[in-house]
Structure 1
Amino acid sequence: MLKTSYLLAVTFAFSACVSQKSKKLQSVTELKDKTGWTTDTLRKDVIWYKFNAVTDGEFANQNVNVISFNPKLKMGKMLLDYKKEKDSLSVFASRISGALAGINATYFIEKKDSADYMHLRLKGIDIQNVKVPKSSIYWWKHQGMFTFNNEGTDFAIHFSSEDFGKIKSENIMTGAPMLIDNFKPVGLTFADTAGVNLKKLHYEHYLKHQGIRHPRTAIAVSREGNLLLVTVDGRNKKALGMSAKELTAFLSRYFNPRSAMNIDGGGSTMMWVKGEPHNGIVNYPTDNKKFDHYGQRMVETVLFIK
C-alpha cells in the first residue's frame, strides 16, 4: 500500500512538473529565435514579448513590443475603436471596459488632403470608402486590408480588393504596406531605395515613407490564427526604428507569421498595457521629441485586446 502511494505521488509530481514546463514552453513557442527577448504573460491568452538588443548583428539598437492574442482559448476578444474627434491611446483605454493591451491603428481617416485613401468598415457599416485614383501619391496607403469578425476572434490580412463592396467581412481596416502575404515576405521589395535620391521625394511618396527608418506599428496573423500587435520605437540612438524592409525581415525571423501589414507609424506609434506605469504606455512615443513615455499623439483608430 505504501509502495503504491509512493508511486502515485511520484507520478503526480512528475505530471505536474511536465505540465508546468508545457505551460512555460507554450508561452514562447511563437518565438523562432528567443535571443534578446523577455516574455510576460498578461493572461493565459495574451503574451507580451519585449525585444531590446544592443549587439545583434541585424537588429542592434532596436526596441520592439509585441502583444500576442490567442482567440482559440475563448477568454477575450479584439476590439477596433474609432473616434472622429481623436484621443490619446491611454484615454481610449480608459473608456474600454476590460481593456488589457492595445496599440494605435491605421492612418488618419479625417484629414483634408487624404481622407479618401483609407477604407474603414465597422460592424457592416462603411465609415470611409477609398476614392483616390492610382495616380494619387496616396495610392499605396490602402495596399493591404485587415478583416475580422464582429466577435473579434477571427482575423485575416490580405492585399486589398479592387472593389471593397465584394468583401463580405463585417469589418475592414486598410493599411500599408503589406509586409508578409501567405508567408511570403513581400515587404522586402516594396520600397527599394537603391539609387533613389530620397530628398527630392514628397514625404508621402511610398519610397520615402517606407524606405527609411521610422517608428513602426504593425499587425500580423500567425499560422495558428493568433493576432500580433507590434510597435517598433525609433528616432533615437537607443531605438533606431525600421524601414518596411527591416520590419518584414524582423517579423519573419522571430515570428514567421502567415501575414502581416504595416499600419500608422511615426509619431502615432503607441502601445498601452494595463497596470503599467506612465498611464500604461510601454513604448516611447515621439511626438514630444523626447525618449520617454509621454509623447502620445491624438489618433482616431485603435486596436485593443480585452
Structure 2
Amino acid sequence: MKKIILGAVLYTITAPFCLGQVKWTNVDSLFGALPSSVHVFTTTDLIEGKPNIAYYVLADLKNRKLNFTTDTTYQRRFTPQQFYEKNQQPLLVVNGTFFDFATNRNLNAVIKNGKLVSYNVHSTALKGKDTMLYMHTFRSAIGITKKRKADVAWLYTDSSARFAKAFQQVPGFYKDYLPAVMNKTLQNQSVKWKMQSAIAGGPVLIQNGKVDVSNNEEYMFIGKAIDDQHPRTAMGYTADGKLIILVVQGRMPGIAEGASLTQLAKLLLDLGCVEALNLDGGGSSCMLVNGKETIKPSDKEGQRAVPAVFIIENKK
C-alpha cells in the first residue's frame, strides 16, 4: 500500500516485497529548497536482515523547469562536490559511469546536449587460451529525449557516428578473431538512439516492469560477484514519467552493508520502475542534493573522484 500526504508534512511510502517491508520517509526538509516536483526519501529498514541506509530522489520528467543533463571530464576525474561547483551548484549530482583508474578513462557512454561525449568500450583483447580472441559487449544506458521520455537500452557507440545505436532486447556478448564489433545481423536489430542526455553503466536491472538482470549478457560481474553486497547507484523511471535515482550506502559493517544487484533491482521495482539499470557503485557511489551528501561514501578519504555524473538543475 502507499500512503502519501502532500504538503509540508512528512510522509512515507510503505513498500512490501520479498526483501521485507521497507518504509521510505520523505526528508525534503533536510536538503534545502526543492521544486515541488522533486522529492527525497530515505530508509534505514533492514535488507534481508542486514543493516541498510538508502536514499532515492524522485523527479518529474515532465517539469520543464528542470534540466536533466550530464557532465564528464577528459583524462582526469572530479569528486561529485567538484562537479557541483563546476556546474554552478545544480539541484542534484550523482555518479554514473565505470572507469579505468589508471587512465581516468570513461568505460561507458555519456550524452550531453544531444552529443556523444564518451563512448562504450566494446572490444577487449582476451588473454590466456583466448589470446587471439576479442570480447565484444554492449553495455546499457539510461537516456532522456528532448520530449522528456526516458528509455533504458543496450548501446553500440562509434566516434564516427552522430548517434548511438540502441538495442531494446539485450544482444549479449560474443567473441571473435576481429576487433570489429557489429555484424550485419546485429546492425539490423538496432536503431538510432536520439537522446538529449544519457549515461551508461550496467547491467540492466528492470525490464518490462520485472526484475530481469542482464549481468551475464553484458558480461559485467563474474561468478558469484552478482550476489555481493556493496554501495550502489542506480537509475530508473516509472510508467507515469518519474525519474528515480537510488543510492545505497555500504561497506560499513553494523551500519550499512550495501545491496546485491538482485536486492537493488527489487527495491527499484517496488518503487514503480518499469526500466532501470545499475551504475558504478562501491566507493564511487555518491549523490548530492543541493550540495549535501545523502549516503556516506565508503572510501575512507570521502568522495571518490569520478569522470562522469548525471545532473538535475533548475532552468534559469
Place the TM-score, normalised by the shorter chain, in its bin.
Answer: 0.7 to 0.9
> Are residues 1:43 and 2:35 paired?
yes
> 2:78 is matched with which residue: 65, 72, 87?
87
> Are residues 1:174 and 2:200 paired?
yes
1:165 Cα offset (Å): 7.3
Distance 1:183 1:150, change over 3 A: same
Residue type of the alignment partner of 1:284: K
2:122 aligned partner: 132
1:86 Cα offset (Å): 1.3
Q: Following superposition of structure 1 onto structure 2, how do residues 90-169 of structure 1 map, counting pairs within 5 Å?
A: 90-97=81-88, 99-108=90-99, 112=103, 117-133=107-123, 142-149=138-145, 153-160=148-155, 161=167, 166-169=192-195
Q: Is the CA contact (8 Å cut-off) linking 2:96 and 2:200 kept in structure 1?
A: no
3-state SS of paired residue (1:50): strand
1:154-184 per-position Cα deviation (integer Å, ceiling 9, x unaligned): 3221333355773233444321110001202
1:90 Cα offset (Å): 1.1
1:226 Cα offset (Å): 0.9
1:91-139 per-position Cα deviation (integer Å, ceiling 9, x unaligned): 1112223512221111127865x95852233334333333433886996
1:47 Cα offset (Å): 0.4
Distance 1:268 1:22, change over 3 A: closer
Q: Is the CA contact (8 Å cut-off) linking 2:205 and 2:212 kept in structure 1?
A: yes
Q: Following superposition of structure 1 onto structure 2, how do residues 1-306 of structure 1 map, counting pairs within 5 Å?
A: 21=5, 23=7, 32-33=15-16, 35-41=22-28, 42-54=34-46, 58=48, 60-84=50-74, 85-97=76-88, 99-108=90-99, 112=103, 117-133=107-123, 142-149=138-145, 153-160=148-155, 161=167, 166-187=192-213, 190=215, 205-237=221-253, 238-253=255-270, 255-274=271-290, 280-288=292-300, 295-306=302-313
1:260 Cα offset (Å): 0.6
Residue type of the alignment partner of 1:285: P
Residue type of the alignment partner of 2:201: G
3-state SS of paired residue (1:235): coil
Q: Is the CA contact (8 Å cut-off) linking 1:269 and 1:285 kept in structure 2?
A: yes
1:242-287 per-position Cα deviation (integer Å, ceiling 9, x unaligned): 111111122223x021111000100100011226xxxx22211112
* Distance in 1 of aligned mates of 2:240 and 2:85: 31
Residue type of the alignment partner of 1:122: K
Distance 1:118 1:50, change over 3 A: same
Q: Is the CA contact (8 Å cut-off) linking 1:145 and 1:175 kept in structure 2?
A: yes
1:3 aligned partner: none
Provide the TM-score with structure 2 as the length reference: 0.70
Could you tell me which runs of 5 or more consecutive residues in structure 1 were left unpaired when the two chains were aligned: 1-19, 192-203, 289-293
* Distance in 1 of aligned mates of 2:106 and 2:126: 11
* Distance in 2 of aligned mates of 1:50 and 1:261: 20
2:182 aligned partner: none
Higher strand share: 2
Distance 1:169 1:78, change over 3 A: closer
Provide the TM-score with structure 1 as the length reference: 0.72
Q: Is the CA contact (8 Å cut-off) linking 2:111 and 2:198 kept in structure 1?
A: yes
Q: Larger radius of gyration, structure 1 or 2? A: 1
Distance 1:142 1:172, change over 3 A: farther
Distance 1:24 1:79, change over 3 A: same
Could you tell me which runs of 5 or more consecutive residues in structure 2 were left unpaired when the two chains were aligned: 29-33, 128-133, 156-166, 168-185
Higher helix share: 1
* Distance in 1 of aligned mates of 2:247 and 2:99: 17
Of the structure 1 ranges 33-42 and 170-179, higher mean CA displacement relative to structure 2 is found in 33-42
3-state SS of paired residue (1:236): coil
3-state SS of paired residue (2:264): helix
Distance 1:21 1:213, change over 3 A: closer
Distance 1:150 1:28, change over 3 A: farther
CA RMSD of aligned residues (A): 3.4
Residue type of the alignment partner of 1:132: H
* Distance in 1 of aligned mates of 2:197 and 2:102: 21
* Distance in 1 of aligned mates of 2:52 and 2:199: 27
Give the paired residue count. 260
